[in-house]
Structure 1
């Protein structure tokens, strides 16, 4: 039986809140796992700043990566930073 409080189905609301809480806990666990992988990669000599950049780039489609690189090169050239 659903309990209505002020027009709100309390059982349904409680179900949503509990699901969100479980997912948040899973997210915290995954964040800890990711931190451990970064620590491991750093321990073997890899640069985590570069790994994070690579991960960001891999999430982009090819056209967006190409556009970003072109704009970066253009800005660097405008600032006299190109070799």
Structure 2
């Protein structure tokens, strides 16, 4: 069963292109808000779209506000992946 890791999320966020400085995603970012990391709602929707394609799962747009931090995003996405397995 696939699982989204923090490294996966960092790679996807960099590809989604919210923050200009890739070093912003280094270190302990699990509890930083995506807004503090430089990702706006458009970048978040791009992140979700990339995760859907890569992991073969559906994440409704209305769940995006329920993912304010990388920790909550990873938890929510992995719970959807487990439920779909």
TM-score, structure 2 length as denominator?
A: 0.28
| Higher normalized helix content (fraction of residues) | 1
Higher RCO, 1 vs 2 (CA within 8 Å, ≥6 residues apart):
2
- State which structure, 1 or 2, has the greater radius of gyration over its C-alpha atoms: 1
What's the TM-score, normalizing by structure 1? Answer: 0.29
